[in-house]
Chain A
Amino acid sequence: MKKVKILFVCGAGLGSSFACQMAAEDVLGKLGVQANLDHSDISSAVSVRPDIIMTAQNFRTQFEKFDVDPAQTTIIYLKNIVSKQEIEEKITPVLQEKGVLAQ
């Protein structure tokens, strides 16, 4: 199974995104998904071309300005970036779609 690359993004790429990454680590562990996780700031996020970007709701307008290829990268917006419940709800269908998680 291919290892999915997930990037966690916030303004500085150090605090909130890191917190979100830790919460997601637990969720992925629970789902049994092996993933490549990293966090970064918004300006360098797009050039990384990850499979999934997870970020806070308020970055939506910023990302919409960027030219992100939806076939390459799915962006997940979170209301509460450390909520494991929200992360699990939103990431599960995406992982299934990407074929890393059984339907």
Chain B
Amino acid sequence: MKERTQRIFARFLRVSAPLTVEDLSKEFRVSERTLRNEVVRINEYLIQHQYPAITTARGTGMTLLLPEQETRVLLERIEETRAKDYYRPDERFLSLLLEIADTSRVTLLYEMEEQLQVSKSTLDEDMRKLRQYLNPYGIAVVSLTKQGIVLQGDERSIRSMLFEAIHNQVDIEQLTQGKSSDVITEFALRYLDRDVLRVLGKLYDERLEKADAETNHVYRNQIILFAAVWARRVREGNTVSESTKTRAEIKEGPVRRFADEICAELSLFPSLHEIKYMTFSIESFKPKDMNSSFDWVAAQLLTIQLIEHMEKVTGIPFSQEEEDLHEGLYRHITGLLSRSQNNLQAFNPLKDTIKESYGAMYQAVACFGQQIEAYTKTCLSEDEIGFLTVYFSTSASRMHEEEQEVYQAVVVCNHGISTGKLLAANLKRQFNIDIVAVLSTYELSFIDKLDVDLIFATIPIEYPKKPILLLNPILMESDKKEVSAFLTEHNNHRRKISNKLDATKLMQDVLSLIVDSGGNVTPSSYQQVENTFKRHQLKINTRELQPMLQDVLTDTHILLNQEGADWREVITKVAEPLLDSGVIEQRYVSAMIKSVEEFGAYIVVGKHLALAHARPEDGVNELGISVMTLKDPVSFGHPDNDPVKIVFCLAAINSHSHIKIMKNLVELIDDNEKLEKLFAAQDVVTFNEVLHGEAPFQDN
């Protein structure tokens, strides 16, 4: 039996709950077809040895039901046949992940080679897979001079990821009992610490077992695993981000006491904030449909992704509002996931009003809907989109209130510049006051030249033109009250600010102005314009001005394993998606073909790679790109690079906005290994993984 077959077999033996082809193919990173073949092979083995085979039940998945005794015998047999001295890929994966996640020690790649007894190339491949695995969580693997290889990303995501990685690969029943039946469990035990798990189990049984109100004991082991990951991360000093505006109110109750006792027993001293995260997360292990898979991680992930998505699309810094927004959304999404699993429809009476008043935000949430649908496999209703929109509109208006209006003022102080500055900083932080300057009494005449409304002074001054408030240089409680009253009294001086203005459109206009007036936007002059905008603190979305390949190449624009009789047909075919989506007009296709007829096959820019394109004025409506791989290579007439196996079709709108896309393509041309994988890709998911999969990473 092959090594992978053994692993899948072992998975069936250890789990009695139904397993779906889809989940397993993801877990073992093989196609669904390969997985089905593996199941056939396992069944052949079972039948040959007179065991019952794996059965499939419609809608739930596959199960292998054997008496406990026989399960153990088979598991032992599998363990025996494996090579003793080598770690299997899944074992290396978890070991590598936990090693890198450990921030108390420096992880270096060459040490890992030795530890796992693999070659550099195998480890490189492992690292590639690891990065690919971490990608959806928004976690990157980076190499730093002093810390070695570390994970970089939102602490919540990292914890969710660790929880899920361990949960998926380890028998957690065994884990929480501190038993290790195999190498993988041993790795997890070493990371989480047997003693910690024992303490957590004991505390759980004492505290939460009896209090049945807020937790579901089906999730006992998951709660223990979650708490163990939490304890480990907190001990290493990795904490969830904390905004200054956090309202840390924690409900008293058994879960809170459980959390406090964990800290006491394990000598942890986390912030109130961490305790809040912990109790909140445990409480969210709500009783749900027993058949439903565990969706705590999915809800966390969707929440984080949705906030990021909304921030990117709307340009409103939602992640700064993290605490309230994150919690509210997370609670809502957990409910949403369980609703959709049970086919419950939520009715939103305000749906139409929301759509009307928060159109842009509603649309932005709707865009993200696909990702939620991909998980729930059901359609996300407008009612649900409306609910999600409310969280963001509330959060935005809260931010708006806080930032919308300010007072402009000067501080006059003779106690030295640092005292004046301290007062200025305190006023800025505690009130909506923008301090334009700190002056001393002999500079009073400057005030006329400054655009200010109010004056704060630490010494009595004569200045009849503007309202003055006398304060202590160090703000006392009484001073704060006075400032509040003073501001209310002069609230007619408040001004609106609009520094959040998105200047992306402005920059686009400036660039086309340069071209219209006969200039030329080269990459370097583009850079100069961008720097100018940044220097003036104008916010621009560079991703919109110069998108990357993955921003523009949508799934529907990827055609795989196509056939084409000659290069003309190939160009026509690869352009089809762009034509269908209105990116280009029909005449652009003719122009691309004409250009090859006229000048030859220069568009075959790399080995087996062609880049079909023509000029913007040949019928391009917007920036776009499509790609097609060929089942049978086609000759374009290039002396060195023929035959062509992959064709990109580029529709550019000017000479600069596709620069990042070109960079991606030029890198691709140099990467033979990657190209081979692209030629071989059978589905769009694999194609995308190969094309965009690798996070930027510098090896030492």
Binding site for B on A (CB under 8 A): 10-16, 18-20, 22-23, 37-39, 41-42, 56-59, 62, 79-82
- B652 x A58 contact (CB < 8 A): no
Can you list 20 A-B contacts with CB-CB less than 8 angstroms, sorted by A residue number? Answer: A10-B599, A12-B595, A12-B615, A14-B613, A14-B615, A14-B652, A18-B658, A18-B659, A18-B662, A19-B669, A20-B605, A22-B662, A23-B666, A38-B520, A39-B655, A42-B599, A57-B639, A58-B599, A79-B639, A82-B605
Pair B599/A14 contact, Cβ less than 8 Å: no
Partner of A11, one of B599, B652, B669: B599
- Complex Cα distance, B662 from A56, in Å, reads 17
B interface residues, how many (CB within 8 angstroms): 34
Given known contacts A22-B663, A58-B601, A59-B599, is B613 in contact with A15 (CB within 8 Å)? yes
* B602 proximal to A (CB < 8 A): yes
Q: Across the interface, do A14 and B666 meet the contact criterion of CB distance under 8 Å?
A: no
Q: Indicate whether B616 reaches chain A with its CB closer than 8 angstroms.
A: yes
Among B639, B659, B666: residue with most chain A CB under 10 A? B666
Min distance, Cβ B548 to any Cβ of chain A, angstroms? 14
Q: Does the CB pair A14–B616 fall under 8 Å?
A: yes
Q: In the complex the two chains form, is B602's CB within 8 Å of A56's CB?
A: yes
**Shortest CB–CB separation between residue A82 and chain B, in angstroms?**
5
Closest to A55 in B: B602
- Closest chain B CB from A46 CB (angstroms): 15
Specify the chain B residue showing the minimal Cβ separation from A60. B600
Please measure, in the bound complex, the distance between the C-alpha atom of A23 and the C-alpha atom of B520, giving whole angstroms: 21
Q: Do B599 and A80 touch across chains, with their CB atoms under 8 A apart?
A: no
Contact A38 B522, beta carbon cutoff 8 Å: yes
Collect the chain B residues with CB atoms within 8 Å of residue A58's CB.
599-602
Closest to B620 in A: A14
A79-B640 CB under 8 A given contacts A14-B613, A15-B603, A58-B600: yes
Q: Mark B592-620, 1 if CB is under 8 A from A, else 0.
A: 00011011111101100001011110100
Bound form: Cα–Cα A11–B614 in Å: 8
Knowing A10-B602, A38-B522, the reply to whether A15 touches B640 (Cβ < 8 A) is no
How many angstroms from the CA of A10 to the CA of B615 in the assembled complex? Answer: 11
Which one of B605, B641, B652, B655 has the highest number of Cβ atoms from chain A below 10 Å of its Cβ? B605
Residue of chain B at shortest CB distance from A81: B605
Contacts of B605 in A (CB 8 A): 15-16, 19-20, 81-82
Chain B proximity of A60: nearest CB distance (Å): 10
* B310, CB-defined interface residue at 8 Å: no
Q: What's the nearest-Cβ distance from chain A to residue B570, in Å?
A: 16
Q: Are A12 and B611 in contact (CB under 8 A)?
A: no
Q: With the chains together, A16 CA to B665 CA distance in Å?
A: 10
Cβ contact within 8 Å between B522 and A37: yes
B161 at the A interface (CB under 8 A): no
**Is B150 an interface residue when CB atoms closer than 8 A count as contact?**
no
Q: Is the CB of B662 within 8 A of A12?
A: no
Question: Whole-angstrom distance between the alpha carbons of A11 and B639 in the complex?
Answer: 18
Report if B650 contacts A (CB, 8 A): yes
Task: Collect the chain B residues with CB atoms within 8 Å of residue A59's CB.
Answer: 599-600, 602
With CB as the reference atom, state the residue of chain A lying closest to B612: A15
Shortest Cβ gap from B652 to chain A (Å): 5
Cα A41 to Cα B663 in complex, Å, equals 19
Chain B residues near A42 (CB-CB < 8 A): 599
Please, which residue of chain B has its CB at the minimum distance from the CB of A43? Answer: B615
B606 near A16 with CB under 8 A, answer: no
Which residues from A are CB-within-8-Å of B662?
A: 15, 18-19, 22
CB-defined contacts of A12 to chain B, threshold 8 Å: 595, 613-615, 618
Contact check, B599 vs A62: say whether CB atoms are below 8 A apart: yes
Could you tell me which residues of chain B, from 467 to 499, have a CB within 8 Å of some CB in chain A? none
Within 8 A of A (CB), among B545-588: none
Closest chain B residue to A58, Cβ basis: B600
| Complex alpha-carbon distance, A42 and B599, angstroms | 10
- Give every chain A residue within 8 A of B599 (Cβ-Cβ): 10-11, 42, 58-59, 62
Chain A residues in 8 Å Cβ range of B611: 15-16, 19
Residues of A within 8 A of B658 (CB): 14, 18
CB proximity of B23 to chain A, nearest CB, Å: 41
Q: A22-B663, A22-B666 are in contact. Are A16 and B603 (CB under 8 A)?
A: yes
| Chain B, range 509-527, C-beta contacts under 8 Å to A | 520, 522-524
**Residues of B with C-beta under 8 A to A38:** 520, 522
Look across to chain A and name the residue whose beta carbon is closest to the beta carbon of B603. Answer: A16
The answer to whether A82 and B669 touch across the interface, beta carbons within 8 angstroms, is yes
Q: Determine which residue in A38, A39, A58 has the highest number of CB atoms from chain B within 10 A of its CB, and name it.
A: A58
- The distance in angstroms between the C-alpha atoms of A62 and B606, with both chains bound, is 22
By a CB distance below 8 angstroms, the chain B residues around A81 are 602, 605
Task: Tell me which residues from 619 to 644 in chain B have a Cβ below 8 Å from any Cβ of chain A.
Answer: 639-641
Contact among B524, B598, B602 for A16, CB-based, below 8 A: B602
Given contacts A19-B605, A59-B602, A82-B605, contact A14 B655 (CB under 8 A): yes
Query: Distance in Å from the Cβ of A95 to the closest Cβ of chain B?
Result: 19
Taken together as a complex, chains A and B put the C-alpha atoms of A57 and B602 apart, in Å, by 8
Q: How far, in angstroms, from A20 to B665 measured CA to CA in the complex?
A: 11
Query: Whole-angstrom distance between the alpha carbons of A37 and B669 in the complex?
Result: 21
Give the 8 A-B CB pairs with smallest separation, nearest first. Answer: A58-B600, A56-B602, A15-B613, A11-B595, A11-B599, A14-B652, A12-B615, A22-B666
Contact with A along B99-112 (1 / 0, CB 8 A): 00000000000000
Closest beta carbon of chain A to B666's beta carbon, Å: 5
